[in-house]
Amino acid sequence: MRIKLIAFGCSNNQAESEIMAGLLKEAGYEIVDAKADLTIVSMCNVKGPSFNKGLRAAKDAKGKVIISGCIPFSQIAKISKEIPRASIVSTHNICSIKNAVERLAKGERVELVGKKHSENLLSEAKGDFERKRENVCMPRIRKNKVIGIVPISSGCMGECSYCAVKAIKGELASYPVESIVKETEQCVKEGCKEIWLTAQDTGCYGTDIGKSLPELLNAVLTVPGDFKVRLGMANPNFVYGCVDEMVGIYKNPKMFRFMHIPVQSGSDNVLKKMNRHYTCAQFVEIVGKLRKAIPDITISTDIIVGFPEESDADFNESLDVIEKTKPSVLNLNRYWPMPETKAALMKQFRSEVLRERCSIMLKAFQRMALDEKKKAVGKELMVLIDDKVKGDSYIGRTDCYTPVGVKGKLVLGQMVRVKIVKATSNYLNGEKM
């Protein structure tokens, strides 16, 4: 059977898709990028449009279909109604994908949803059951051969009023430090030049097992080899307590000088309604400490505009925090009501308000980001080539994880010196020296 896998959303979802591909190849199935007998679509449920995009991909797929990834219980009936032929294997059951495919091949429609299925499917060897609780040290087929995506935990400690992911992923379950180090060693051995440590919230790593994020990072950075670590999203309330340790860690040359800290709103009033456990002042303090110690660090943050009951004054405070902290990357999102969330029950804004606020915020950010990136024009920088666009066009990453477009005869994983010739608000263009 020829099987194609499509993943939407975060790097953790991509990692789960790579694991399913590895498990299926290990079982003798052919993994393809084109025409397939079975398509496995890994869904993202962070925003409604992302989920709908996954549904469209599943509907358009030829042959048999399995829908996987972040699937809320409230959407299972909708999926079954819209795509009756689709089987469902939730995020907690990816290690049972071989079992699901075997049953599907016999003509069954399979539904493996929720943790209970994962806990009850003990037909696999005990070792497989143990490892299925940690999505590390698993067979993989990587989408990008030079990027090793290493999940460090599942679930989170938050209760954000707008987010449905907690209801799907559950409480925080941190993976052992030694397992993550072993996975990193394997990635490096297989030629990965970038290690992406990923989770729903990397900041709370270890809280449940008596460990901490700095402790994990220090262990990973002892792994020998030529690679750099990119840390995934970490929420401010957890970073705030370890920012001084993080400053020291970011000075290690194996770390990309890049930190993704989602503020979500510049208004403490809105943050309380979002049930985010920090203040805007704490976010600003974190950024200030990082920038003081590491002036060229890339700060990435997220903003939600149009959250229910966000006043004009609240929105202006979000503009102010972006002006004050000047992030290099802004993931800007219009608020989208998600099923099974408290915020979805609140009074919603008209779409016109969301569009207007999004436009104002985007223009303000692009102006600041362009001014900052223009400072790189004329400089010579070393970049790590980590993605191919098409033809002889590639994307490279600076030590601060800034994307640089480069053309030429290049190889993924190669370090090249480039001269920056152009800047936009989102990326740089360089010429190979």
Query: Is the domain of 270 the same as that of 301?
Result: yes
Query: Is the domain of 395 the same as that of 325?
Result: no
Structure tokens at 226: 């030529």
With a CB cutoff of 8 Å and minimum separation 6, the contacts of 350 are: none
* Tens-place pLDDT, residues 259-307: 999 999 999 999 999 999 999 999 999 999 999 999 999 999 999 999 9
Q: Residue 123 above 60 pLDDT?
A: no
Q: Residue 171 above 90 pLDDT?
A: yes
3-state DSSP assignment of residue 69: strand
* 293 assigned to some structural domain: yes
Query: Is the domain of 310 the same as that of 425?
Result: no
* 349 assigned to some structural domain: yes
The residue assigned the tokens 């679930």 is 155
Number of H helices, E strands in the chain: 15, 19
Give mean pLDDT, residues 350-365.
Answer: 96
Share of the chain above pLDDT 90, in %: 81
C-alpha closest to that of 429 among 399, 394, 400:
394
Query: Is the domain of 322 the same as that of 353?
Result: yes
Query: Is the domain of 270 the same as that of 411?
Result: no
More confident residue, 42 or 116: 42
Q: Residue 40 above 80 pLDDT?
A: yes
Confidence of residue 115 (pLDDT cuts 50, 70, 90): low
**DSSP annotation string for 72-114:** -HHHHHHHHHH-TT-EEEEGGGGGGHHHHHHHHHTT---EE-S
Share of the chain above pLDDT 70, in %: 95
From the centroid of its chain, how far is CA 48?
A: 17
Confidence (pLDDT) at 131: 40
Confidence (pLDDT) at 114: 66
For residues 72 and 340, give the distance between their C-alpha atoms in angstroms, rounded to a whole number: 8
CB atoms within 10 A of CB 352: 8
Give mean pLDDT, residues 235-242.
Answer: 97
Query: Is the domain of 363 the same as that of 386?
Result: no
Confidence of residue 352 (pLDDT cuts 50, 70, 90): very high
For residues 134 and 154, give the distance between their C-alpha atoms in angstroms, rounded to a whole number: 8
Domain count, the chain: 3
From the centroid of its chain, how far is CA 246?
A: 20
Query: Is the domain of 217 the same as that of 345?
Result: yes
**DSSP annotation string for 166-201:** HHHH-B-EEPPHHHHHHHHHHHHHTT-SEEEEE-S-
Query: Is the domain of 96 the same as that of 219?
Result: no
Residue 386 domain boundaries: 377-432
Confidence (pLDDT) at 117: 45
Give mean pLDDT, residues 22-49.
Answer: 90
Instruction: Give Cα separations from 203 to 28, 417, 431 (angstroms).
Output: 38, 33, 37
Give mean pLDDT, residues 120-147.
Answer: 62
For residues 72 and 43, give the distance between their C-alpha atoms in angstroms, rounded to a whole number: 10
Q: Domain of 336: which CATH number?
A: 3.80.30.20
Q: Domain of 24: which CATH number?
A: 3.40.50.280
421: part of which helix (H) or strand (E)?
Answer: strand 415-423
Confidence (pLDDT) at 126: 35
C-alpha closest to that of 217 among 174, 246, 188, 190:
246
Structure tokens at 201: 């919230």
From the centroid of its chain, how far is CA 305?
A: 20
Confidence (pLDDT) at 134: 59
> The pTM is what?
0.92
Confidence (pLDDT) at 165: 87
Domain boundary, last residue among 355, 374, 393 = 374
Query: Is the domain of 237 the same as that of 365?
Result: yes
Confidence of residue 50 (pLDDT cuts 50, 70, 90): confident
**DSSP annotation string for 336-353:** ---TT-SGGGSPPPPHHH
Q: Residue 119 above 60 pLDDT?
A: no
C-alpha closest to that of 101 among 198, 192, 190, 36:
36
Beta bridge partners of 246: none
C-alpha closest to that of 24 among 56, 2, 6:
2
For residues 101 and 108, give the distance between their C-alpha atoms in angstroms, rounded to a whole number: 9
Pairing label, strands 428-432, 403-407? parallel
